[in-house]
Chains A and B, each alone.
Chain A
Amino acid sequence: MPAVVGVFAHVDTASRAVRELRARGVRSIATYSPVPLDDFEEALTGHGLPRSPVRLFTLVGALTGTAAGFALTIWSSIKWRLIVGGKPVVSIPPFVVIAFELTILLGGLCTLLGLLVTARLPSLRGSGRYDARFSVDRFGVEVTCDVAEQAAVEEILRRAGAEEVRA
């Protein structure tokens, strides 16, 4: 599918273009920006709630960490019973420390994994549609559309205030 990219110098014009395109029923829109923008999020989704499954990765990782922490400490102290001062072999309070640290460790590592999976990183193959200015002070609106619609989309982008429109 061919794609059209509009390069904008302003946040408001770019998000207006997105709203306009969505109003016309165009759905496959992507934006590029040097900073995260709630405004783009709202224009793209209509509700502005950033929904991301990353938190599921975090939850699963953190719970795995807790379980692993308790399992390792309890299992290994039962495996070789070392009774000190008549105290219980399985003493939970000190094991909480290990379980806590592993909760954070695996939770954090799974968050990283979740980010890489959901944001599809690393993606080292360059994209022809990306513009180096998108990491400085320009905002991009990318539309994937049929060749037939291309002219109309270009027109919308230009009318919204794009500095430059590339196919």
Chain B
Amino acid sequence: MSQPGRSDAPARPIAGGASPTFADVNQVVLRSLDFPTPTYFGWMSLIALVLAGGITCWVLQVYFGMGMAGKRNPQMWAMYITTFVFWIGIGHAGTLISAILYLFRARWRTSIYRGSEAMTIFAVMTAGLFPIIHAGRMWLAYWLIPYPSERFLWPAFRSPLVWDVFAISTYLTISAVFFVVGMVPDIAALRDAATGWKRRIYGLLALGWRGSDRQWRHYRRAYGLLAALATPLVVSVHSVVSWDFAMALVPGWHSTLFAPFFVDGAIFSGFAMVLILLIPMRHYFNLYPYITERHLDAMAKLILVTGLVLTYFYACEGFTAWYSGEHIERASYLFKWVGVYAPWWWLQIFCNSVAPLVLFWRRARVHVPTLYAVSILVLIGMWFERFNIIVPGLGHGFYPYTFGAYVPTPVDTGIIIGSFAWFFILFMGFIKVLPSVSIVEVKETIPHPVRDGHPH
């Protein structure tokens, strides 16, 4: 029984032309950890500034109250929950690449999976802030943890919001375990190349990894099992997030379509984010031999496929509203098309259903500026998709008296922009202290050094 993606069977080189050697792989990863350039510090300062702005907005909200976030009936869930769902969704592509493609033995994943996995962790860490920001008194956030109160009241386990706490915290924990386990042999390589205090730190993080046969044997088994656990988990997480909505009776939310609809959208937006992070990384770290046109092409195809599926779901949403014969459901759907939020609805349709169509052409799939532009549009589209589910949905319920329109305020907009800074600061920090390309897995896909022909 060989392990998926982990055998030393004749390997197809991931790079065209002369294949890199084992030592080249260590070299390129070590070089990515060199002392940062002024450009890096410039970007970091800019991001830190934006983050400081976001934190200031949060302080204002805590000090003056939730009115600063523009919250009032009927849209008590607005941009914070939109952004929460958005960030959780971003994480999904990382797990898809690291776990699902691992089980499917897609070898092209090896050079991009570490960066994507880091993206997952940081996206979930960003998402996790939003329920706390949204709920207001964040010093009582520990109420989310299931424990009995002094009157032995437990959380209502029938509430989707409690499922959400379980799903998100499990997702964060398991993704972090998977990420760290995957990194241990690479950190050992960094330890062996480092000196002084760096060697001590990497030495501790590497847990004394030596790459002995015994360690590899258990490691491979454990890694495969973690991938197998992460695969159903990732599907469950966004399904649970979708049930936060679908379990409610709000017109436009109460639909069995929501779970696959959310999971597909999550992967769609996540791949866009992977491209947005990896294309500059490839440029700055000179990873061209490792992240090739083939990778861009494969990711663009995944964006295209998930985008088409999403378009199908949009059509289903409309069909369901019409075929239900429910006039409230129909009115709610029509409100999205022509109501006050109509521009954002049509922006969403353009970004998610029309823009990715350009990826039908191979030239567009490997053309970096096009791919980058499509990725940015997809992220915008997917943020607005969640907005268009939540805000118009709540604003056009069963009873005209409760109709309403939510208007963003500088404070909640500032917090949301700040969340992007928080995500990017984590990611930019990561790429300078830890291996952003997996040394071990890339080596597995390049020809192994042999003297007298292949060992088999």
Give a binary string over B1-27; 1 marks a CB under 8 Å from any A CB, 0 the rest: 111001111000000000001110010
Is A146 an interface residue when CB atoms closer than 8 A count as contact? no
Q: Is the CB of B177 within 8 A of A108?
A: yes
Alpha-carbon distance between A44 and B230 when the two chains are bound, in angstroms: 31
> Does B193 contact A132, Cβ atoms closer than 8 Å?
yes
Across the interface, which residues of A come within 8 angstroms of B236, CB to CB? Answer: 97, 100-101, 104
The answer, yes or no, to whether B104 is at the interface (CB within 8 Å) is no
B449 with A11: CB separation less than 8 A = yes
> Chain A 108-120 against B: per-residue CB contact (8 Å), 1 yes, 0 no?
1101101110111
* Chain A, residue nearest B24 (CB): A137
Q: How far is the CA of A95 from the CA of B158 in the complex (A)?
A: 7
A76-B148, A98-B166 known; A32-B173 Cβ under 8 A: no
**What is the CB-to-nearest-CB distance from A81 to chain B, in angstroms, rounded to a whole number?**
12
Interface string of A91-104 (1 = CB under 8 A from B): 10011011011101
Taken together as a complex, chains A and B put the C-alpha atoms of A109 and B452 apart, in Å, by 43
Contact A38 B192, beta carbon cutoff 8 Å: no
A15 with B455, Cβ < 8 A, contacts A50-B221, A76-B148 known: yes
Q: Dominant SS at the A interface?
A: helix
Q: Is A20 an interface residue (CB 8 A)?
A: no
Do B229 and A107 have beta carbons less than 8 Å apart? yes
Say yes or no for B198: interface residue by CB 8 A criterion: no
Q: Mark B59-73, 1 if CB is under 8 A from A, else 0.
A: 000000000000000
Residue numbers in B under 8 Å from A151 (CB-CB):
none
- Out of A13, A51, A79, name the residue touching B154 (CB < 8 Å): A79
Selected contact of B1 from candidates A30, A49, A102, A133, CB within 8 Å: A49
Q: Does B409 interact with chain A (Cβ within 8 Å)? A: no
Nearest chain A residue, comparing its CB with the CB of B9? A38
Q: Is B207 in contact with A132, judged by CB distance below 8 angstroms?
A: no
Q: Which residues of B contact A30 (CB under 8 A)?
A: 212-214
Contacts of A95 in B (CB 8 A): 157
Output the least CB separation between A141 and chain B (Å): 10
A75 to chain B, nearest CB (A): 9
Contacts of B449 in A (CB 8 A): 9-11, 137
Report the separation of the CA atoms of residues A115 and B223 in the bound assembly, to the nearest whole angstrom. 9
Q: Is there contact, CB below 8 Å, between A91 and B454?
A: no
Q: A32-B211, A121-B215 are in contact. Are A115 and B222 (CB under 8 A)?
A: yes
**Cβ-defined contact, A32 with B8, below 8 A:** no
Given A40-B213, A104-B232, A136-B192: A111 and B167 within 8 A (CB)? no
Query: Which residue of the partner chain, among A51, A101, A107, A134, contacts B211 with CB atoms under 8 Å?
Result: A134
Q: Which stretch, B31-39, B181-189, B296-304, B332-340, touches the partner chain A?
A: B181-189
The interface residues of chain A lying within 8 Å CB-to-CB of B448 are: 11, 35, 37
- Report A7-34 residues with CB < 8 Å from chain B CB: 9-13, 15, 30-34
Residue of chain A at shortest CB distance from B22? A137
In contact, B208 and A123 (Cβ under 8 angstroms) = yes
In the complex the two chains form, is B211's CB within 8 Å of A39's CB?
A: no
Residues of chain B lying within 8 A (CB to CB) of residue A37: 8, 216, 448
Q: Which residues of A contact B (CB under 8 A)?
A: 9-13, 15, 30-41, 44, 49-52, 54-55, 58, 62, 72-73, 76-77, 79-80, 82, 84, 91, 94-95, 97-98, 100-102, 104-105, 107-109, 111-112, 114-116, 118-127, 130, 132-137, 161
Between A and B, 7 residue pairs with Cβ closer than 8 Å are A39-B8, A39-B455, A50-B217, A76-B148, A76-B157, A112-B226, A121-B209
Known contacts A10-B452, A102-B170; 14 further A-B pairs (Cβ under 8 A): A11-B450, A30-B213, A35-B443, A36-B216, A39-B8, A41-B217, A51-B217, A77-B157, A79-B154, A98-B166, A108-B226, A111-B226, A121-B184, A124-B207
In the A-B complex, list the 3 residue pairs whose CB atoms are closest, starting with the nearest. A137-B22, A122-B207, A132-B192
B binding-site residues for A, Cβ under 8 Å: 1-3, 6-9, 21-23, 26, 146, 148, 152-154, 156-158, 162-163, 166-167, 169-170, 173-174, 177-178, 181, 184-185, 188-189, 191-193, 203-204, 207-222, 225-226, 229-230, 232-233, 236, 240, 439-440, 443-444, 448-456
